[in-house]
Amino acid sequence: MTLVREPGATGLAVLAEIWREGRAAQLSLEARGPVEASAARVRAAAQGEVPVYGINTGFGKLASVRISPADTETLQRNLILSHCCGVGEALEPATTRLMMALKLLSLGRGASGVRWEICALIEGMLARSVTPVIPAQGSVGASGDLAPLAHLAAVMIGEGVAELDGERLPGGAALARAGLSPVVLGPKEGLALINGTQFSTACALAALFEAERMLRAAIVTASLSTDAIMGSTQPLEAEIHALRGHAGQIDVAAAMRALMAGSAIRESHREGDTRVQDPYCIRCQPQVAGAALDLLRFAARTLEIEANAVTDNPLVIGAGIISGGNFHAEPVAFAADQIALALAEIGAIAQRRVALMVDPTLSFDLPPFLTPAPGLNSGFMIAEVTTAALMSENKHLANPCSTDSTPTSANQEDHVSMAAHGARRLGRMNANLAVILGVEALCAAQGVEARAPLVTSAPLRAAMGALRAVVPALGADRYMAPDLEAAAGLVRNDALARAAGVEVGL
């Protein structure tokens, strides 16, 4: 199915669908008129005597060098080939396709000066699954994501490398096999293709979509952990959170109240419990996860705007062609740093709950390391250590990237955003967090089962059922790695949240 989009008005749900389900994207036909009009203005400028950056001049520090009309096509082709300097592992195909869709949306705004033919080729590549191989390293996030986007443009001119039907092929061969033809780039078209934030934005969006699932899973695992250690639900009362007023905190507390309502475990210790207060990792989950949710929502708004933005340079505005700096990815870098902070803190507080449950001095009479035969068996002892390692790794990864900068291109591009690797690191952080939350789910389920014949609430029993369908309860010690992988998979595919009916989102 192809999604027909109006440039400037594409929401996160559609972008998530493109990323998760591999949908193709196509511009609405209403976009064609403005696109062609801007292309005509660029063609006229290329023939004129007035220097216009990137149209009849060189690039970057070489902007003062005039280029003759006869060399326009060579100028654009050379730009693409010279900028194909990406290194490292290839970007995942799903994120590459999202990047292509974002570039299409940007060009479709009619301010980039490209012909409709350029947009049509990107549409064709998406529809026929020609996916350029994009080395993931090499962008500093200004002047746009030059190197990675050059690898996209290279395939469009018949160069580079692309994947098609599970096979890597030279770009021209991949286009031919798909029944598509490469383009010869006209004035500014190469520059329009590589000047922009679409690589950084696609990576940040992919991480955001995963982070939303992490947040939902954390609401479930925290609720299970609270019942496992026979914690209080009093800190979830609505009045507490209304008095503070933060929307994320209010939403997380409400979701946890709904999840824990009807728990026989909770009802069993409302009276006579000698404990006055639970540790912060239990008591303050709404405050911590809620703050993380607020950060994710703020980042979501930033990235939704950026996904619909025109971020190349110069721009065709009215009758003029104006140089600016929309290619600077500082908003994306800030959003990526915010997502990183949220992921690190969701994991940090979850890890403390894991540590709480395996410690017999803190778990309110759960067996040591949650094994029925401690001593002979180690139970979840080293699973907890793994969560500590991943938590610490995520803390280091959460250090800001946006505060770093270095001058490039002979000091012409003297402040950069570092949005590209700021966004890319989030994939690793999400993977780490999924394991932390998966281990918390395993420990909490084991703890809740140890409270038998008392049972938890219906929604949490449903979540435990989804978990137990892939990972049985731990009796004697066994090879643990597959259990951790399976539990992390339930977090990443939203299965725990779906089973429990948690719908908190961006």
**Residues with catalytic roles:** 53
What DSSP string runs through 37-68? HHHHHHHHHHHSSS--TTTSB--GGGTTSB--
Query: Which three-class secondary structure state does DSSP give residue 119?
Result: helix
Separation between Cα atoms, residue 223 and residue 413, nearest integer Å: 49
Cα atoms in the 13 Å half-sphere on the side-chain side of 125: 36
The CB-side HSE value for 19 (13 A sphere, CA atoms) comes to 23
- What pairing do the DSSP bridges indicate for beta strands 2-5 and 24-27? parallel
3-state SS of the chain: helix, strand, coil percent to 5? 60, 5, 35
As beta bridge partners, residue 413 has 408
3-state secondary structure of 185: coil
Rounded-to-integer distance, Cα 29 and Cα 41, Å: 20
Between CA 437 and CA 292 the distance in angstroms is: 15
Query: Is residue 61 within 8 Å of residue 412, measured between CB atoms?
Result: yes
Token readout for 171 is 């770009």
Gap between the Cα atoms of 43 and 393, Å rounded = 51
- What is the dihedral angle through the alpha carbons of 326, 328, 334, 336, rounded to the nearest 10 degrees? 100
* Contact by Cβ (8 Å): 366, 360: yes
Helix extents (H) in 229-284: 238-244, 247-260, 264-268, 280-283
CA atoms of 459 and 354, how far apart (whole Å): 21
Find out whether the peptide bond into 143 is cis, omega within 30 degrees of 0. Answer: yes
Do β-strands 320-322 and 167-170 pair in parallel, antiparallel, or remain unpaired?
unpaired
Query: What single DSSP character describes residue 410?
Result: T
- Dihedral sign computed on CA atoms, order 341, 293, 388, 285: positive
Host H or E run for residue 162:
strand 161-164
Which residue has tokens 């998406």? 126
The single residue listed with the structure tokens 């435990």 is 464
Work out whether the CA dihedral 297, 298, 303, 305 comes out positive or negative.
positive
